[in-house]
């Protein structure tokens, strides 16, 4: 395994990895997951296409600073901006998923000078009651010292994040349960701090009307965690944003249907590189 580089930015340490040469692409991961998740599918495809690709661990995810005392979404946006400046390759092409997509659209709004074009995957501009309830439950498990049995945790994760079309095939479902169980991430104090963001996130759709950078939003038709209607709302708010929806994909659609996600990323970035 490659040892990540470390950048001292925005008052904290950010661990990142860099691949290839060419126009800079920065990939922003979602809640509780390390940046290396991108390296399964998106980073290799982008590197082969001639991009300089950077993946990184958001604050809260070791070996980046965990900041267990808490932080804001604005802190995470500022981290991403400072990392792009540290890399010296901006403005950059940016793609993020879930919380990473929210960071991406906020970055495009706050620092358009650093964003050449932005892709938001499985995104949202407002919280829903179900999203808040799931997040509150995840925080309560940590706060009460409750650890779910690994097999049950894998099953719940699969149910919330994969398409029913994937899970309807018993062999495929078993493979995914094994993958999720093997790669399960422990909820640390830093991850708990990330989970705490969800209760403080404001409705931001009106603000996104001021985004000027070329934008594409990708929704997943079977996303239970952040249903595609939330992604469509973001696309409708951003002037001239392109919206694409991928069928037979859940919240982990970038892992579940990587060829379709990669095709859209490569097509969009080629237009704006």
Average pLDDT, integer, range 257-270: 98
Catalytic residue among 33, 98, 163, 215: 98
Mean pLDDT in the chain? 95
Average pLDDT, integer, range 243-258: 98
Helix (H, G, I), strand (E, B) or coil at 32: coil
98 is catalytic: yes
pLDDT surpasses 70 at 263: yes
What is residue 216's predicted lDDT score, i.e. its pLDDT?
Answer: 98
Question: Is-contact 44 262, C-beta < 8 A?
Answer: no
CA-CA distances (angstroms) from residue 209 to 73, 75, 267? 19, 22, 24
Average pLDDT, integer, range 23-41: 96
What is residue 186's predicted lDDT score, i.e. its pLDDT?
Answer: 80
Strands (E), the chain: 5-9, 12-19, 24-28, 52-56, 92-97, 115-121, 215-220, 242-246
**Residue-range domains of the chain with CATH:** 5-272 (3.40.50.1820)
pTM: 0.96
183 is catalytic: no
Average pLDDT, integer, range 190-215: 92
pLDDT surpasses 70 at 1: no
178 is catalytic: no
Tokens matching residue 199: 């209760």
Gap between the Cα atoms of 58 and 194, Å rounded: 9
Helices 170-182 + 150-161 axis angle, to 10: 120
pLDDT surpasses 80 at 199: no
Lowest mean pLDDT among 65-74, 178-187, 223-232, 241-250: 178-187
The model's confidence at residue 89, banded by pLDDT at 50, 70 and 90, is: confident
pLDDT surpasses 90 at 185: no
Average pLDDT, integer, range 99-123: 98
Gap between the Cα atoms of 4 and 197, Å rounded: 26
* pLDDT tens figures, 129-175: 888 898 899 999 999 999 999 999 999 999 999 999 999 999 999 99
């Amino acid at each position: 395994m490659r040892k990540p580089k470390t950048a001292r930015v925005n008052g904290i340490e950010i661990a990142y990895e860099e691949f290839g040469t060419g126009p800079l692409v920065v990939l922003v991961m979602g809640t509780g997951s390390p940046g290396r998740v991108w390296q399964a599918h998106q980073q290799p495809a982008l590197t082969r296409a001639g991009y300089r690709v950077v993946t990184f661990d958001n604050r809260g995810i070791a070996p980046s600073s965990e900041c267990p005392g808490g932080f804001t979404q604005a802190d995470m946006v500022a981290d991403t901006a400072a990392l792009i400046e540290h890399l010296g390759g901006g403005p950059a092409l940016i793609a993020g998923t879930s919380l990473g997509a929210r960071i991406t659209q906020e970055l495009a709004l706050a620092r358009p000078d650093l964003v050449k074009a932005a892709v938001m995957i499985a995104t949202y501009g407002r919280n829903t009651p179900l999203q808040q309830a799931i997040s509150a439950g995840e925080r309560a498990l940590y706060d009460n010292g409750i650890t779910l049995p690994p097999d049950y945790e894998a099953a719940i994760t699969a149910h919330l994040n994969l398409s029913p079309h994937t899970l309807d095939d018993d062999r495929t479902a078993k493979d995914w349960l094994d993958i999720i169980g093997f790669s399960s991430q422990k909820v640390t104090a830093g991850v708990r701090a990330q989970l705490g963001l969800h209760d403080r996130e404001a409705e931001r759709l009106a603000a996104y009307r001021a985004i000027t950078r070329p934008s594409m939003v990708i929704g997943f038709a079977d996303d239970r965690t952040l249903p595609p209607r939330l992604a469509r709302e973001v696309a409708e708010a951003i002037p001239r944003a392109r919206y694409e929806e991928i069928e037979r994909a859940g919240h982990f659609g970038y892992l579940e249907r990587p060829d379709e996600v990669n095709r859209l990323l490569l097509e969009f970035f080629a237009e704006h590189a």
